[in-house]
Amino acid sequence: MALLSPVVVQAENSRGMSLDQTMNEIRAWLDGAGIEPVQFRTVVSRRGLGFEISFRHEHEAERFQDRFASLLA
């Protein structure tokens, strides 16, 4: 089911991994899963760098959250 507005997931950069490594891991998983996010942007928070990823479908966001639970803010 498509939503009228995207589902936004916020994630933090993994400790022990560079920002590039984390982004590459996420991008590779998204590509392999056939998921094209609406938006993927880097954000700065008090904890450091993170990501804000918008998905068209709730089930895509849920799959991302299941796979990358350790990164969730």
Q: What is the pLDDT along the chain (73 residues), one digit of tens a residue?
A: 555 678 889 888 877 788 888 889 999 999 999 999 999 998 887 778 888 999 999 999 999 999 999 888 6
7: three-class secondary structure by DSSP: strand
Domains contained in the chain, number = 1
- Which CATH number goes with the domain that contains 66? 3.30.70
The H-or-E segment that residue 45 falls in is strand 39-45
Strand order in the sheet with 48-57: 2-12, 48-57, 39-45
Domain limits at 25?
A: 2-71
Within 1-73, where are the H helices? 19-33, 58-67
Alpha-carbon span 47 to 5, nearest angstrom:
27
Confidence (pTM) = 0.82
Tell me if residue 70 falls in helix, strand or coil: helix
